[in-house]
Structure 1
Amino acid sequence: MKQAQQIASRIKEVFLNGTWIANTNYKNELVNLDYEIANKKIDTLNSISVLAQHIHYYVAGILNVYINNTLEIRDKFSFDFPPIDSQQAWDAFLTRFWQDTQVLITYIEDMSDKDLNQEFVDEKYGTYTRNLNGMLEHSYYHLGQIVLIKKLIAKL
């Protein structure tokens, strides 16, 4: 399996259908979750909704690099989202999250190993491989938070 397919497979695992690393994935944790639970705050922790939007922000930002060859996202804005105030809005967000993830996976699968080792927008960001692997690690980190927050909420 070429490197791009391996990375794409790992992205599918964390977001859509895998259980190998964390025994769960974003889709498993977020589908059928009531928006009020997704928005529930526990002390100073981010809500599940904010964490999910935060990770989608990076997925969409990297996807934009593939589509428009520009990196428009900034870390300082990665937690700035309007509230999700209905189940319909939550479900619409999740649909967009899964769609953007699937489109990103398709772009990655089509890359050659040479493409993966190319500069990601600007030399200071390193290669595509570095950024995709960074997104994976970041995603697992926040997936763990989501799982723990769900457990805390269930105890309330």
Structure 2
Amino acid sequence: MSSAVQLSKRFREVLLDGLWIANTNFKDQLSGVSWEQAVTKVSSLNTIAMLTFHIHYYIAGIINVFEGGALEIKDQYSFDLPVIESQAQWEELLSRLWVDAEKFAGLVERIPDDQLDEVFADEKYGTYRRNIDGMIEHSYYHLGQITLIKKLLTSQ
């Protein structure tokens, strides 16, 4: 199995269907979360909706580079979640996340292995491999937060 296919599989595990590392994934944790729960603030923590938006923001930004575009995302905008006031708006955010997560995984698995060690967008960002690994690690970090926030919300 090529390195790119292995990275794609690891990405799908954290976002869409895996159980190996955390015994859960984004799709599993966000399934059944209502929009009210998603936007409920627990202490000073980010909301589930905000963390979901944040991860999607980076996935969409990296997809743009994979498709030949520029890296246009900026950290300062990564938590700029539009107001969610309905289940339909929450489900739209989730739908975009699932579609783009699958697109991201599909694009990763088509990267030639020798390209994985090439510069990603700009030298200061490292290689394609570093950015894909970073997206996986970043996703696990926020998956843990979402899991804990969800537990806090359901125990109240």
Q: TM-score higher than 0.5 here?
A: yes
**Residue equivalent to 2:59:** 59
Q: Following superposition of structure 1 onto structure 2, how do residues 1-156 of structure 1 map, counting pairs within 5 Å?
A: 1-156=1-156
Distance between the aligned counterparts of 1:53 and 1:11, measured in 2? 17
Once the two structures are overlaid, the 10-residue window that deviates more, 74-83 or 126-135, is 74-83
Alpha-carbon distance, 1:129 to partner: 0.2
Taking the aligned partners of 1:121 and 1:65, their CA distance within structure 2 comes to 7
CA distance in 2, matches of 1:65, 1:118: 13
- For residues 95-151 of structure 1, the C-alpha deviation after alignment (integer angstroms, 9 at most, x for no partner) is 111001111111111111111111100011110000010111111000000000011
Letter in 1 for 2:61: G
How far residue 69 of structure 1 moved from its aligned partner, in angstroms, is 2.5
**CA RMSD across the alignment:** 0.8
Identical-pair percentage:
51
How many angstroms apart in 2 are the aligned matches of 1:139 and 1:103? 16
TM-score of the superposed pair, with normalisation by structure 2:
0.97
Taking structure 1 as the reference length, the TM-score comes to 0.97
Unpaired stretches in structure 2, ≥5 consecutive residues: none
Aligned residue-pair number: 156
2 CA distance for matches of 1:42 and 1:122?
37
